[in-house]
A and B are shown apart, each in its own frame.
Chain A
Amino acid sequence: MKQATLNFHKVSDSNVVVTVQGSWTVSGVLPAPEQLSAMLDDRLKTVVFTAGDDFFWDSRLLAWLMACQRMLESTHCQFDLSGLPEDVRDLFNLANTVPPNKALPERHASLFHQLVNRLARLGDEAMALLAFTGELALTLCRWFAQKGSARWSDIINFCHQSGPSALPIITLQSVLIGMILAYLGMVQLRQFGAEVYVANLVGVGMVREMGALMTAVIMSGRTGAAYAAQLGTMQVNEEIDALTTLGIKPMDYLVVPRTLALILTIPLLCLYSNILGMFGGGLVATNMDITWLMYLYQLRDAISFGDTMTGVVKSFVFGLLIAMAGCRAGLACGRSSAAVGQATTNAVVTAIIYLVVADAGLNILFYHLGI
Chain B
Amino acid sequence: MGQLGQKPQSVVIEARGLSMNYGSNLIQSNLHFQISKGDVFVIMGGSGCGKSTLLKHMIGLYQPAGGDILFGGQSYFTASPEQQLAMRKRWGVTYQGGALFSDKTLAENVALPLVQYTTLTSKDIRDMVRYKLALVGLAGFEDFYPSQISGGMCKRAGLARAIALDPDILFFDEPSAGLDPLSARRLDDLILQLRDSTGATVVIVTHELASIFAIGSNGVYLDANSKTQLDTGSPGYMLNHSKHDLVKAFLSRGE
Q: Write the residues of chain A forming the contact surface with B, with a CB cutoff of 8 angstroms.
A: 26-27, 30, 55-60, 62-64, 66-67, 70, 85, 87, 90-91, 94-106, 334-338
Contact = CB atoms under 8 A, between A and B. Distances in A.
Interface string B1-37: 1111000000000000000000000000000000000
Given A59-B166, A63-B130, A94 B193 contact: yes
15 contacts: A30-B124, A57-B2, A58-B1, A63-B132, A66-B127, A87-B4, A87-B197, A94-B193, A96-B134, A97-B137, A98-B138, A101-B140, A101-B141, A105-B145, A334-B147
Contacts of A96: 134
Interface residues of B, number: 37
Q: Among B119, B135, B148, find the residue whose CB has the most chain A CB atoms closer than 10 A.
A: B135
Rank and list the top 7 A-B pairs by shortest CB-CB distance, nearest first. Answer: A101-B140, A100-B140, A100-B139, A98-B137, A95-B134, A336-B102, A63-B131
Nearest to A107: B143
Given A336-B102, A338-B103, 11 more contacts: A27-B119, A59-B132, A59-B166, A63-B132, A95-B135, A96-B134, A100-B134, A100-B139, A105-B105, A335-B147, A336-B147
A60 B143 CA distance: 21
A171 B1 CA distance: 64
Contacts of B143: 104-105
Nearest to B119: A27
Contact of A63 (B105, B127, B197): B127
Contact of A94 (B102, B103, B135, B138): B135
A330 to B, nearest CB: 17
A318 to B, nearest CB: 32
Interface string B115-156: 000111000100110111011011111011111100000000
B196 A90 contact: yes
Nearest to A24: B2
A58 B148 CA distance: 31
Contacts of A26: 118, 120, 165-166
B118 A91 contact: no
Nearest to A341: B103
B37 to A, nearest CB: 15
Q: Among A59, A102, A105, find the residue whose CB has the most chain B CB atoms closer than 10 A.
A: A59
Nearest to A86: B197
B137 A62 contact: no
Interface of B: 1-4, 102-103, 105, 118-120, 124, 127-128, 130-132, 134-135, 137-141, 143-148, 163, 165-166, 190, 193, 196-198
Given A60-B128, A87-B198, A106-B148, A99 B1 contact: no
A95 to B, nearest CB: 4
Contacts of B166: 26, 58-59
The B interface is mostly helix, strand or loop, or mixed, namely loop
Contacts of A104: 143
Contacts of B127: 63-64, 66-67
Contacts of B119: 27
A66 B144 contact: no
Contacts of A338: 102-103
A63 B103 contact: no
Contact of A337 (B102, B118, B197): B102
B103 to A, nearest CB: 4
A250 to B, nearest CB: 21
B197 A91 contact: yes
Nearest to A98: B137
Nearest to A340: B102
Contacts of A335: 147
Contacts of A57: 1-2
A67 to B, nearest CB: 4
Contacts of A100: 134, 139-140
B131 A95 contact: yes
Given A63-B128, A90-B193, A58 B2 contact: yes
Contacts of A337: 102-103
A104 B105 CA distance: 13
Contacts of A55: 2
A57 B105 CA distance: 28
B170 to A, nearest CB: 14
Nearest to B149: A105
B139 A101 contact: yes
A14 to B, nearest CB: 27
A169 B188 CA distance: 55
B140 A102 contact: yes
A66 B130 contact: yes
A105 to B, nearest CB: 4
Contacts of A27: 118-119
A101 B138 contact: yes
A63 B137 CA distance: 15
Given A67-B127, A90-B196, A98 B2 contact: no
Q: Among B1, B138, B163, B196, find the residue whose CB has the most chain A CB atoms closer than 10 A.
A: B1
Nearest to B144: A105
Contact of B139 (A30, A90, A91, A95): A95
B74 to A, nearest CB: 23
A94 B131 contact: no
A85 B148 contact: no
Contacts of B103: 336-338
Nearest to A342: B103
Given A95-B139, A99-B139, A337-B102, A105 B148 contact: yes
Contacts of B148: 105-106
Contacts of A95: 131, 134-135, 139
